[in-house]
Amino acid sequence: MAGNIKNIGEQDFKATVLDSQKPVLVDFWAVWCGPCRMVAPIVEELSEEYKDRMDFAKVNVDEAPKIASSYNVMSIPTIILFKGGKPFEQVVGYRPKKDIQKVIEKTLR
């Protein structure tokens, strides 16, 4: 896992995501999810490219089901971009890097 992506759970979600001064991309995933493994390297690349402008976190839905259900994460992978402590944009399912980049750019405006 890239050094720029934090693995977070229910105990540190608020401090890492909701209280962050920067926008935060949160990747909701699970070990058994094939498309999640396809999205992971894309999220790692993006975390390098945008490390100065936003934070990146991963939430394992099996370990943190309350967080997933509180944001209506019904299928994974789901990427939610938080801005000002609130969900701003969401991407569900596998998407190519350029699609996720467009959502990041929109969030950073």
Query: What residues are labeled active site?
Result: 33, 36
Give the separation between CA 31 and CA 6, rounded to whole angstroms: 16
Write out the E strands in 1-109: 5-8, 24-29, 55-60, 78-83, 86-92
Q: Which ranges in 50-96 belong to alpha helices (H)?
A: 65-70
CA distance 105 to 109: 6
